[in-house]
A and B are shown apart, each in its own frame.
Chain A
Amino acid sequence: MRAAVIQFPGVNREGDAARALRQATGDEPAIVWHAENELPPGLDLVVLPGGFSYGDYLRCGAIAARSPVMRAVHAHAARGGLTLGICNGFQVLCEAGLLPGVLMRNAQLRFVCKMQYLRVENAKTPFTRSYAPGEVVKFAIAHGEGNFIADDDTVRRIEAEGRVAFRYCDAQGQAGNGSNPNGSTNSIAGVFNDRFNVLGLMPHPENLIDSLAGGIDGRALFTSLAAGSRFV
């Protein structure tokens, strides 16, 4: 699979994303600087990694969402190309209008950095098909602005169309009851666009690919992507 990781100034997880892609696909992803006007030809997947693009100036992801390379990312997504935004990358995709809603300051005002249980809400997508429906997984979270908000109609539509990818939960898979780390609407941790070729999530699957580093629950996301590049 041909993948590219976009590097905005201030991101710091591009190496982790590249490592996870390398492990799952056997191929080296391209690292593309934000000032480029074009992506490498024939890409199956674009990854927007985590970090603090432009120091979170103005709003998280706002300036990165308007950088030159994003026109090419829009075109890639419009062609049906797979696009994954992790943490700051999720914020960028929302600011770019490729995903609905916005990620606000955590309701408790604290940066949260810990392991977090998630429930796989839709396992029929190119990003999640190597998971079982309803599977409970443990990813790392590390963010100050992960509180997903959208207007009521948008939230209803996302829920009705099966566009919630992951939900924060406890070890038993129960959402709510204090398992929501940031106040996110309906405990939403990750959402798809309406064509299921764009996914944004706050947790970090790319950091759970090696049992030496705390677990391998993130691997299935990358093996899902490696298994094929189109949602049928």
Chain B
Amino acid sequence: MKARVIVTLKGSVLDPQGKAIEGALRGLSVEGVKSVRQGKIFDIELDGDDRAAARLKLNEVCERLLANTIVENYAIEIV
């Protein structure tokens, strides 16, 4: 089974890398981009095909390692 975990900074946390990308897009004269926030994607392969168990496992993986929940949110997609 394949899953995708998306980790993003919480909205209240300043994202200087996103801000720098916004500035670079302005430099490229790309118009209409209001803001950019940078995050991370993890593509994960799991044993078995129990989707509920996979979701529980991935929650644990996120809480224990993939996200620092002081400043980051995570979302899990089973694909």
Contacts and interface: CB of A to CB of B under 8 A. Distances in A.
Interface of A: 58-59, 62, 66, 95, 101-102, 104-109, 149-151, 183
B65 A109 contact: no
B13 A149 contact: yes
A149 B13 CA distance: 9
Q: Is the interface of B mostly helix, strand, loop or mixed?
A: helix
Contact of A149 (B64, B66, B71): B71
Nearest to A108: B16
A151 B65 contact: no
9 contacts: A58-B65, A58-B66, A66-B64, A66-B65, A95-B68, A104-B71, A106-B16, A149-B71, A151-B70
A92 to B, nearest CB: 12
B70 A102 contact: yes
B27 to A, nearest CB: 15
B70 A101 contact: yes
Given A58-B66, A105-B16, 10 more contacts: A58-B65, A102-B68, A105-B17, A108-B16, A109-B20, A149-B13, A149-B70, A150-B70, A151-B70, A183-B14
A59 B68 contact: yes
Interface of B: 13-14, 16-17, 20, 64-66, 68, 70-71
A109 B70 contact: no
B22 to A, nearest CB: 12
Nearest to A105: B16
A109 B68 contact: no
A62 B17 contact: no
A150 B70 CA distance: 7
Query: When A and B form their complex, which 4 residue pairs have the shortest distance between CB atoms, in order from nearest?
Result: A102-B70, A109-B16, A105-B16, A102-B71
Contact of A62 (B14, B16, B68): B68
Contacts of B20: 109
Nearest to A150: B70
**Residue with the greatest number of chain B CB neighbours at <10 A, chosen from A66, A104, A105:** A104
Contacts of A66: 64-65
A232 to B, nearest CB: 32
Nearest to A59: B68
A109 B17 contact: yes
Nearest to B9: A104
Given A109-B20, A149-B71, A104 B66 contact: no
Contacts of B65: 58, 62, 66
Nearest to A65: B65
A95 B71 CA distance: 12
A139 B66 CA distance: 33
Nearest to B70: A102
A162 to B, nearest CB: 22
